[in-house]
A and B are shown apart, each in its own frame.
Chain A
Amino acid sequence: MPWLARQLVRLVVVLFCVTLLTYMIVNILPGDVAIVILGNLATPQDIAGLRADLGLDRPMLVRYFDWLGSALSGDLGRSYRNGEPVVQAILDRLPVSLQLMVMAQVIALGIAIPVALLSVRRPGGLFDRISASAAFGFLAMPNFMLGIVLIYLFSISFDLLPATGFTPMSEGLWDNLESMILPSLTLGLIEWTVLMRVLRSDLLTTLKEDFILLARAKGLPPWRVLLQHALRPSSFTLITILGLNIGGLIGGAVIVEQIFALPGVGRLLLGGIFNRDLILVQGTVAFIAVGFVVINFLVDMLYAVLDPRVRHVRFRS
């Protein structure tokens, strides 16, 4: 299947460039890594020793391929601060971040789909106008700001939910969900606006199609026309946007994990940056970027499975 093969080649090339760029950012930018780690007071001997330790005296490309080789065999090095293997550190925190992003996505879709369906029943009507204004308002809210406002409302004013901290699922599902509600709401309440707008606009296009007219002519009730006939063909763009938005979601997760003190990958990355733990930062950024590229690739594939026309046109030009 040449189309799939081309996409796979492209995936590999992008992955290669992304890891190379990650490596370059950490290794080429001004400031000697050894000095950054040791601080300004380090003696030249210390610095030279550490440079040899880290292999910094060798050419960068050689080091990159070394690093890539071990990365491919599942070794991203050890944290310079506490000696913990970077892969282990990431895997320990990954479930928290994934749970956060999945819950946020569920909340976003849970708001976006019903709101879009209700607003296309009477475009330009009262509900449509209110939901469009609400979407416009939420879209202007930076996630760090919404997070603070939610903490203020739900934790401080009404004392309903914990402001910070995380309870693992092993210590009770309800406690776990309670600690994840505000963080996921913070991301979901912003995300739904984009999804709703896209779905609404696609639904309006679909509703003009002949098969909808036919369904109506058969005398189907309006909600069945919407749910069974219009929703599915209108959700292609939604899926693409879901994929494209994952980048924003990852960035949002970094901020939200910091606000709510959740032990996720984003907080691991920030901790690494603040501690100047370069090997940890390099591994985490590469992991996030690779994950993001692969997810986008899978979304593209899913799109092609759902809509065969995609396979025959050059898409995303």
Chain B
Amino acid sequence: MSASAAKGAVAAAPRPRRRLHWTLVLPLGWLSLVVVLAITADWIGLPDPSAQELILRRKPPSLEFLLGTDNLGRDMLSRVIYGARTSLIVGICAPVLGFLVGGAIGMSAGYFRGKVDMLAVGFIDILLAFPSLVLALTFTAYLGQSLFNVTLALGILSIPAAARVARANTLAWANRDFVLAARTIGASDWRILTREILPNLLPPMFAFWLVAISVIIVAEGALSFLGLGIPAPQPSWGGMIADGREALDVAPYTALIPAAVMFATVLSLNFVGDMVRNMVDPRRSAL
């Protein structure tokens, strides 16, 4: 009870309401807009996001340039939209990687227990022993900067969290009667893991995946902001904020626009993630 009471304003709504609430409509609308624009970016007649036009640098938002131009005269709208593509690719793919590896580790640990569990928990503990941003920085610094390597590094970072979720849920399901029944009729460990336990792991893993997307988008932004994420001409929200920081006194919108877009996206993901998590497991919504 205290757990559900601890939720933010969203979940605090006491009565279940069928009517769609604005805290759901707005985030879903914004996310759909971002996704659709990111997918269709090539076909909606946007100017090249990397084309520089120094004469037109730092133009404030106008009819010609809806969101203005940046320090190098590149169209901000186009860069924000192509940046969304970058954020979404990293944000969606990195947790998938983490979940495939971490999920397998966590499931084996929770199912086989004993030595496997000890090894897995030790491995998780060691990955968690690094401040994650420092680990991500070090990985990308040595792997080299590219979209693929950033995704890979952030994917590795999401392994421990995914493994924990998978392990905790496997532990909870592995002793249920239907698993015992499957074992009694002679099902193999593989079959029990994939047919009996895995389907039950998917809802909590999905809820966690939504949270992971927003965490990873922020992490990619941080890496790119520091100049260690997506390499320069390719647009990324974090990189745009870093570029805009140099002109904060003369053209603040070059930093504030990508910042606002990123904020709206992360906030929307958190709203949706929270809602899904409450649907999947109302008890675990304390944090």
CB-defined contacts of A135 to chain B, threshold 8 Å: 8
* B130 and A292 within 8 A (CB): yes
* B138 and A25 within 8 A (CB): yes
Partner of A31, one of B144, B252, B259: B144
Report B235-253 CB contacts with A as 1/0, cut-off 8 Å. Answer: 0001001101100110010
Segment at the interface with A among B76-84, B197-205, B260-268:
B260-268
Query: Complex: how many Å from CA A145 to CA B259?
Result: 6
Whether a CB of chain B sits under 8 angstroms from the CB of A165 is no
| Interface residue tally for chain A (C-beta within 8 Å) | 64
* B132 and A251 within 8 A (CB): yes
Whether a CB of chain B sits under 8 angstroms from the CB of A259 is yes
CB-defined contacts of A26 to chain B, threshold 8 Å: 138, 142
CB-defined contacts of B121 to chain A, threshold 8 Å: 317
Cβ distance B88 to chain A, nearest Cβ, rounded Å: 16
* A141 and B287 within 8 A (CB): no
Given A132-B8, A152-B256, A293-B129, answer yes or no on A281-B141 (Cβ-Cβ < 8 Å): yes
Partner of A142, one of B126, B218, B227: B218
Report A284-309 CB contacts with B as 1/0, cut-off 8 Å. Answer: 01001100110010000000000000
* B245 and A148 within 8 A (CB): yes
Which A182-227 residues sit within 8 Å CB-CB of chain B?
Answer: 194, 197-198, 200-201, 204-205, 208
Partner of A129, one of B2, B5, B9, B222: B9
Cβ distance A93 to chain B, nearest Cβ, rounded Å: 15
Which B121-142 residues sit within 8 Å CB-CB of chain A?
Answer: 121-122, 125-126, 128-134, 137-139, 141-142
Cβ distance A13 to chain B, nearest Cβ, rounded Å: 8
Give the number of residue pairs across the A-B interface with Cβ within 8 Å: 163
CB-defined contacts of A258 to chain B, threshold 8 Å: 226
* B267 and A247 within 8 A (CB): no
* A140 and B2 within 8 A (CB): no
* A18 and B126 within 8 A (CB): yes
* B138 and A285 within 8 A (CB): yes
CB-defined contacts of B263 to chain A, threshold 8 Å: 140-142, 145
* A144 and B267 within 8 A (CB): no
Query: Complex: how many Å from CA A21 to CA B127?
Result: 9
Cβ distance A138 to chain B, nearest Cβ, rounded Å: 10
Whether a CB of chain A sits under 8 angstroms from the CB of B33 is no
Residues of B within 8 A of A (CB): 2-3, 5-10, 12, 14, 121-122, 125-126, 128-134, 137-139, 141-144, 214, 218, 221-222, 225-228, 238, 241-242, 244-245, 248-249, 252, 255-256, 259, 262-263, 266-267, 270, 286-287
